């Protein structure tokens, strides 16, 4: 049985839970982090010495780092479709995981954090504006990368959709200026029809 530790409104926990939902994995989720606390307990740190969520334990195997967890769950429970079989097809979707983490997310989290976690009086709008300019350019690049495809790597949902797609709910619901992104908007509309996305990602922030 899979156990997931982490609060439901953490974007990194959402990647794991969306995967769990798509792959229909029997599981329990235990709230941890944020107002639930518990990340500095010796029991939690024994599983994840970095003191962060998400963490999983699957039949005795403990793992942390959201993208690494999604890859593990994909390889174990989603081989063939969610976790493509050929190295080329796997690399194609894995590129989106790495690009999202390194190209898009640093600006995304700056904008999100300043607008939704920092009080108005403390907010640094110069920081927001410069990060938002780069973030919107990243989304324009994603629009080109998607190139009319149904999902990031073709016709079916794969693990690369998880890290990229998880960000879209917040991106399209923050009060920010966005460029025209017809391909990404159509892709996001299709994600919003998926029950696992509705339950695990479309969560108030
Ligand atoms: N790179 C890590 C980042 C983990 C991380 O920063 N998690 C945040 C939540 S999104 C956390 O543990 N914050 C402390 C808390 O929620 O109390 C991952 O992808 O798992």
190 Cα: distance to centroid of ligand 1 (angstroms): 27
Whether residues 26 and 73 fall in one domain = yes
- CA 54 / ligand 1 centre spacing (Å): 7
Asked whether 8 and 17 are in contact (CB, 8 A), the reply is yes
Which runs of consecutive H residues, i.e. helices, occur in 78-205?
A: 87-99, 105-116, 125-146, 159-173, 182-192, 195-200
Q: Please check whether residue 21 is in contact with residue 200, taking contact to mean a CB–CB distance below 8 angstroms.
A: yes
Report yes or no on 205 lying in a domain.
Answer: no
Half-sphere exposure of 57 (CA within 13 A, CB side): 11
Same domain, 116 and 191: yes
Could you read off the pLDDT of 47-87 as tens digits, one per residue? 999 999 999 999 999 999 999 999 999 999 999 999 999 99
Q: Give the sign of the dihedral formed by CA 158, CA 162, CA 164, CA 169.
A: positive
Q: Are 96 and 160 members of one domain? A: yes
- Residues 29, 53: one domain? yes
Q: Helix (H, G, I), strand (E, B), or coil: what is residue 64?
A: strand
Which of 59, 77, 95 is where one domain is finished? Answer: 77
For residue range 169-193, list pLDDT tens digits in order.
Answer: 999 999 999 999 999 999 999 999 9
Provide the number of structural domains found in the chain: 2
Cis preceding linkage at 54, omega within 30: yes
- The 10s digit of each residue's pLDDT in 98-149 is 999 999 999 999 999 999 999 999 999 999 999 999 999 999 999 999 998 9
Q: What is the pLDDT of residue 118?
A: 97
Question: What is the domain extent for residue 59?
Answer: 2-77
The ligand 1 site (C-beta within 6 Å) comprises 10-12, 33-34, 39, 52-54, 65-67
Q: Tell which one of 4, 5, 10 to mutate to probe ligand 1, the residue whose CB is within 8 A of the most ligand atoms.
A: 10
Q: What is the CATH number of the domain that holds 138?
A: 1.20.1050.10
In this structure, the answer to whether residues 63 and 147 fall within a common structural domain is no
CATH number at residue 53: 3.40.30.10
* CA 164 from centroid of its chain's CA atoms: 6
Does residue 70 sit in the same domain as residue 139?
no
Let me know whether 26 and 119 are in one domain: no
Statement to judge: residues 93 and 139 lie in one domain: yes
82 within a domain of the structure (yes/no): no
How many whole angstroms from its chain centre is CA 144?
A: 20
Closest-lying ligand 1 atom to the alpha carbon of residue 53: 12
Q: What is the pTM of this model?
A: 0.97
Handedness of CA 54, 59, 61, 67 (dihedral sign): negative
Say whether both 167 and 96 belong to one domain: yes
**Within this chain, do residues 34 and 110 fall inside the same structural domain, yes or no?**
no
Q: Ligand 1: which residue has its CA nearest to atom 11?
A: 52
Q: Is the dihedral of CA 176, 177, 182, 183 positive or negative?
A: negative
Instruction: Give the end of a domain, one of 53, 77, 101.
Output: 77
Closest-lying ligand 1 atom to the alpha carbon of residue 51 = 12
Whether the CA torsion 145, 149, 150, 151 is positive or negative: it is: negative
């Amino acid at each position: 049985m899979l156990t997931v530790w982490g609060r439901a409104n953490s974007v990194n926990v959402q990647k794991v839970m969306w995967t769990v939902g798509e792959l229909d994995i029997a599981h329990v989720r235990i709230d941890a982090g944020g107002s639930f606390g518990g990340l500095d307990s010796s029991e939690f740190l024994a599983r994840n010495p970095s003191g962060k969520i998400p963490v999983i334990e699957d039949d005795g195997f403990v793992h942390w780092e959201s993208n690494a967890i999604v890859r593990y769950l994909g390889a174990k429970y989603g081989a063939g479709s969610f976790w493509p079989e050929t190295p080329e097809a796997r690399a194609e979707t894995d590129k989106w995981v790495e690009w999202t983490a390194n190209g898009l997310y640093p600006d995304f989290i700056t904008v999100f954090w300043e607008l939704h976690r920092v009080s108005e009086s403390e907010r640094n709008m110069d920081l927001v504006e410069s990060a938002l300019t780069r973030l919107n350019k990243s989304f324009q690049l994603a629009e080109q990368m998607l190139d009319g495809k149904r999902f990031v790597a073709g016709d079916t949902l794969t693990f690369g959709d998880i890290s990229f797609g998880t960000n879209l709910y917040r991106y399209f619901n923050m009060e920010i200026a966005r460029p025209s992104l017809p391909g990404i908007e159509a892709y996001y509309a299709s994600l919003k029809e998926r029950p696992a996305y509705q339950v695990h990602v479309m969560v108030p922030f």
